């Protein structure tokens, strides 16, 4: 999806994000046993002719009877090494556990990539700066400075062809949409057990996908 995404407009990217969230919601919350994908990244999101997104490549997927299970075998212990490191939850780096909350972290990274056009390993991220911190520094007043230039041009071109009144409405709606989506990964970032705790309290990290 990464190569093709550069030619997608904001609405198309939002729809893709919703499709992936719906798939994650089903796998995590509506299967008889929770399914942990273990390799959610742009190249594993496939678009069909109708621009509907599908999550593919379940070669590393694991079934989990609970939302979070301690690693118990060499096969599971190596999952953090097999998965694309940049998209893996931080706790996987220390072989902590394979969990659905870790998949939510990967989904957050995917969202930020779609909106900024930057990967977690972008060369501009130095001296402790990463994709999450990059976005947090921009929220909420400087979002347009970190948005993918392709999306930014789309907003500007739409504004240039609209009336003064509609131009203001269009810019406001686009900004509101971008801020709302970028805030999601910041909230869902997994660095400790708090996300797993919230998951248990709410029953699911994707309680309602519209």
Catalytic positions, written as ranges: 39
Tell which residue, 181, 139, 204, has the closest CA to residue 13. 181
Full DSSP string of 56-112: ---TT-EEESSSEEE--SHHHHTHHHHS-GGGS-GGGGGT-EEEHHHHHHHHHHHHH
Rounded Cα–Cα distance for residues 199 and 89 (Å): 15
Q: Mapping DSSP to helix (H, G, I), strand (E, B) and coil, where does residue 14 land?
A: helix
How is residue 9 written in tokens? 């407009």
Instruction: Please give the span between the terminal C-alpha atoms of the chain, in angstroms, as a whole number.
Output: 22
Rounded Cα–Cα distance for residues 176 and 185 (Å): 16
For 112, other C-beta atoms within 10 Å of its C-beta total 22
Tell which residue, 122, 128, 173, 172, has the closest CA to residue 146. 122
Task: For 135-164, give one letter per residue: b (16+ CB within 10 A) or e.
Answer: beebeeeebbebbbeebbebbeebbeeeee
């Amino acid at each position: 999806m990464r190569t093709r995404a550069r030619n997608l407009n904001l609405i198309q990217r939002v729809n893709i994000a919703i499709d992936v969230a719906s798939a994650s919601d089903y796998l995590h919350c509506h299967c008889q046993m929770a399914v942990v994908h273990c390799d959610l990244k742009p190249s594993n999101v496939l678009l069909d002719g109708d621009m509907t997104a599908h999550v593919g490549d379940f070669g590393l997927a694991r079934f989990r009877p609970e939302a979070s299970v301690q690693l118990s075998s060499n096969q599971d212990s190596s999952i953090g090494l097999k998965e694309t490191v940049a998209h893996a939850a931080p706790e996987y780096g220390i072989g902590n556990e394979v969990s659905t909350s870790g998949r939510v972290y990967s989904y957050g990274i995917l969202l930020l990539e779609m909106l900024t056009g930057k990967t977690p390993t972008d060369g501009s991220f130095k001296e402790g700066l990463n994709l999450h911190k990059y976005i947090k520094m921009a929220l909420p007043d400087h979002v347009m400075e970190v948005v993918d230039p392709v999306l930014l041009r789309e907003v500007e071109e739409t504004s240039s062809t609209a009336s003064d009144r509609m131009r203001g409405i269009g810019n406001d709606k686009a900004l509101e949409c971008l801020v709302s989506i970028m805030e999601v990964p910041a909230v869902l970032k997994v660095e400790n057990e708090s996300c797993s705790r919230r998951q248990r309290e709410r029953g699911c990290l994707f309680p309602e996908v519209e």
